[in-house]
């Protein structure tokens, strides 16, 4: 059972520790975490990742568009799946940011975690005004009894690019969810409650589950995508045992054909007319961008293109083809 600490642990160690924001928990992060877990097992130590909420950039550079790649809850799930013994979520604010490098090491590492090895990237900075670096950490390690293992930049062997959260964000801004999924090691996803929309899709034979696009995660560029809707199973349970995966055509944007304003995420589950997801938290995963959003010359042209979207979605996901539903067959 992975431990999650939201306050300073009490003598968690001796341990192997890594420190980072881990937004998205992409493939580079995953390699570092696996290294921490392996070192801990080899040396009979506990393994822990120290992360932050909110992220430092959200505190120092607040902006409505400063979205996370994933929610804190999903970040913790992704980290736990890599085999860590624990994750510590340190609340980050300006008071915490003002800690000197030495105070940060003593209060957040030495006293609560008893680290024997600290694994960090070569560009790690910490303490007030980011004044601490690898040299600082190594000097403090000699004083307090821990070794510092520096991980060089982790480079993607295919593109020769450095794995990074900023790379993922750029890909999402461009709608390139295929490549974003490659960097993340899984499809990019957003999470939120299903809300009532205009029910226009239902009237056209494409009922959708609607999420508010102003949720906390990074939303891909406007367009139509093939992907999955994942919902907790058993449905409505406070203790779900699994996630049900439903193939879906996903629309992100403002419905330019109808002149709508306000960005939404709408997911149409292929072939299903009986789903009642209102008020339920779901996960929407993006696999492939099918096309950009655009206005059509007529409603018939729009419906024809949406029929094609369903076929392409099914092909991408490798599921049976589904057609538009009869509006009077939609029961919820």
Instruction: Give the pLDDT score at 262.
Output: 63
Each residue's pLDDT tens digit, 75-128:
999 999 999 999 999 999 999 999 999 999 999 999 999 999 999 998 899 999
Contacts of 88 (CB under 8 A, 6+ apart): 5, 6, 8, 9, 48, 49, 50, 51, 112, 113
| Torsions phi, psi for 8 (to 5 deg) | -55, 125
Instruction: Give the pLDDT score at 213.
Output: 58
CA separation (Å) from 154 to 27, 150, 162? 9, 12, 6
Quote the strand ranges of 234-300, DSSP E: 242-253, 264-269, 281-291
- Count CB neighbours of 159 within 10 A: 12
Each residue's pLDDT tens digit, 114-164:
999 999 998 899 999 999 999 999 999 999 999 999 998 888 888 899 999
Instruction: Give the pLDDT score at 252.
Output: 93
Q: Give pTM, 2 decimals.
A: 0.91
Q: Domains in the chain, please, with CATH?
A: 11-151 (3.40.50.620), 188-317 (2.40.30.30)
- Report the DSSP pairing between strands 15-19 and 46-53: parallel
């Amino acid at each position: 059972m992975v431990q999650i600490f939201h306050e300073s642990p009490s003598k968690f160690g001796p341990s192997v520790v890594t420190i980072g924001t881990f937004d998205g928990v992409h493939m580079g992060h995953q390699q570092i975490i696996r290294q921490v877990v392996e070192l801990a097992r080899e040396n009979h130590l506990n393994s822990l990742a120290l992360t932050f909420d909110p992220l430092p950039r959200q505190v120092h550079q607040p902006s409505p568009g400063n979205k996370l790649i994933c929610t804190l809850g999903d970040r913790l799930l992704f980290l736990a799946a890599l085999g860590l013994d624990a994750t510590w979520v340190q609340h980050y604010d300006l008071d915490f940011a003002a800690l000197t490098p030495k105070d940060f090491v003593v209060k957040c590492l030495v006293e609560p975690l008893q680290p024997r090895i600290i694994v960090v990237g070569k560009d790690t900075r910490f303490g007030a005004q980011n004044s601490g670096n690898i040299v600082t950490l190594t000097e403090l390690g000699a004083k307090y009894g821990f070794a510092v293992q520096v991980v060089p930049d982790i480079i993607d062997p295919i593109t020769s690019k450095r794995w990074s959260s900023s790379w993922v964000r750029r890909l999402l801004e461009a709608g390139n969810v295929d490549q974003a999924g490659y960097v993340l090691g899984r499809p990019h996803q957003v999470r939120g409650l299903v809300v009532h929309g205009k029910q226009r899709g239902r009237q056209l034979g494409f009922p959708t589950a609607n999420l508010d696009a102003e949720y906390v995660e990074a939303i891909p560029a406007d367009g139509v995508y093939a992907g999955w809707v994942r919902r907790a199973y058993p449905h409505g349970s406070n203790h779900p045992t699994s996630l049900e995966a439903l193939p879906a055509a996903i629309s992100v944007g403002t419905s330019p054909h109808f002149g709508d304003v306000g960005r939404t995420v709408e997911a149409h589950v292929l072939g299903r007319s009986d789903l009642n997801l209102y008020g339920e938290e779901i996960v929407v995963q993006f696999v492939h961008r099918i096309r950009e959003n655009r206005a059509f010359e007529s409603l018939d042209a729009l419906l024809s293109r949406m029929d094609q979207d369903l076929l392409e979605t099914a092909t991408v996901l490798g599921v049976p083809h589904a057609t538009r539903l009869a509006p009077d067959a939609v029961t919820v």
